Structure 1
């Protein structure tokens, strides 16, 4: 299949492009900066370029992973988010419909589900259990607002055209440090997040491949490493997460102590990827147990931590 991959120079794109090629797909990459998998340098906000990319390269399906992200809020005005994340998504959807494409994969974010009350802490029933039915959805920043608008455009165009669309709300997989939390340290924080809100970039890429090859209709999926908890743990997770962790992983506290790390005292939200496992046959390879195995054996962490990573920079045409 000839696939247009946007964001091909980005963190996800540079992992997804070779995976697609290994599966026999022919990849045309589009990004605002050059990269190993980037064929076309430009912005999805350029409508003529988006249509040209689809038409001139014989594209048969689109994976739209290019976007402005939350860290970009400090660097770019809101209008840039609308141009790239909303207008750019509409450009690609309409180009795909005009070309008669059977499928479209849209990279969204679990961030848009984090309302102000979710951000503030646990709910009445304990930790928020967040799957595709979670709502109401009320994004708290321009990133979330524009990604939700992109999702809505995907659903609208799918309904009107019959094109199969997968909306993938990915948990965290960025390599850089968190832009709002300095404690615990970056690797420790990432390890903790595998308990309920993180996956590796390799697993995110595999989910996109599964969606491309298996999606039917229009479906939304939450992507994260499988949480080692049950919904019945929600109340205790919000008050004494370490006790729940100790029951699941008796040596976790000792392994963390040896590494100089700390386990979370409270876990206030859990992302549930069960639907993706059921409909796409996808399950993250790396989970919290893999983190503990690496600590136990003194091996390399199964995730990437790169505090110096910077996302591709927009060109003036964006």
Structure 2
């Protein structure tokens, strides 16, 4: 298929474009910044540009381009609305005019995180699957991605289009911009217990969704490394996460100590990706066991870490 990939110069795009080609698809990239896989420079908020690209033989769209949570410090709220909401609308309308039967939308688990979830301390870990709702998103990023998701649902209902909404957990390479207690690598490793996936897995999920969403209608999927825990451990995770981790991974504490790392004392949320495995047949290949195995065998860690990373758009 000839695929329009938005955000083709970004972090997801650099992993996704090669995987799409390896699967036999032709990739046409659209981004506001230049890149190896970007043929068109411009914004998804430009409806005329989107229409002209889609009209040139595009058969399906993967909409990965967006302003993200770190961009809150760099861009006004209107820019989030223009890119994340209006841009999604432009792409959906272009897809309908072109007669597309499927659409893949990159969303975020961040929109499920209310202020209460963010604060934690509720006595047990929040178990967060696609049905989880605890109030509105806490920032403009989550608000606009939630609005874009609802646009997808409207178009699916009105047009009969099959749409996969992929709520990805964390896979950014830079350091967390709100937590500074642990080293970046230590924190990322910990997050594979409950809320992170590799960029390669995030990209592969999009390829799988593109090829398997047909006939499923509009479906939402949480994407994260499969957690080692079960729902009945939620209370223990909040009280004494290290005890739960030790039960599943007896040598984790020793392996961490050798690196001067710390395991989390408490885990406040767990993302549940079971629906993606059940309906799409997708399961992340990199998980916490992979992280420990890399440490155990002195191999490179199976995730990307680059504290100095800035999106290409910041240099455009």
Establish whether TM, by shorter chain, passes 0.5: yes
Counterparts of 1:117 and 1:136 in 2: how far apart (Å)?
8
Secondary structure at the aligned position of 2:312 is classed as: coil
In the superposition, the TM-score normalised over structure 1's length comes to 0.97
1:71 corresponds to: 70
Structure 1 position 205, deviation (Å) = 0.6
Q: CA deviation at 1:137?
A: 4.5
Q: In structure 1, what is the Cα distance between the partners aligned to 2:264 and 2:314?
A: 36
Contact 1:112 1:137 in 2 (8 A): no
Counterparts of 1:315 and 1:64, CA distance in 2? 22
Number of aligned pairs?
314
Superposition deviation, residue 138 in structure 1: 1.0
Which segment is superposed worse, 129-138 or 194-203? 129-138
What do residues 225-274 of structure 1 show as CA deviations (whole Å, max 9, x unaligned)?
Answer: 00000001000000100000000000000000001100000000000000
C-alpha spacing 1:188/1:299, structure 2 compared with 1 (3 Å) = same
C-alpha contact 1:103 1:164 (8 A) present in aligned 2: yes
TM-score (norm 2): 0.98
Q: Secondary structure at the match of 1:135?
A: coil
Q: Quote how far apart the aligned CAs of 1:150 are.
A: 0.4
Structure-to-structure mapping, 1:1-318, within 5 angstroms: 1-56=1-56, 58-124=57-123, 126-215=124-213, 216-313=216-313
Deviates further, 43-52 or 133-142: 133-142
Output the CA distance in 2 between the equivalents of 1:275 and 1:2. Answer: 28
For the residue of structure 2 that corresponds to 1:179, the secondary structure is coil
Unaligned runs of 5+ in 1: none
Q: Is the 8 A contact 1:105 1:208 kept in 2?
A: yes
Distance (Å, rounded) in 2 between the aligned partners of 1:274 and 1:137: 23
Unaligned segments of structure 2, at least 5 residues: none
**TM superposition shift of 1:117:** 0.6
Say whether the 8 Å CA contact 2:50–2:94 is kept in structure 1. Answer: yes
Give the Å deviation of 1:308. Answer: 1.0
Closer, same or farther: CA 309–212 of 1 in aligned 2, 3 Å: same
Does the C-alpha gap of structure 1 residues 137 and 2 become closer, same or farther in structure 2, counting only changes over 3 Å?
farther
CA distance in 2, matches of 1:282, 1:102: 21
8 Å CA contact retained: 2:113, 2:134: no
Q: Distance in 2 between matches of 1:165 and 1:65?
A: 14
Distance 2:222 2:134 in 1: 15
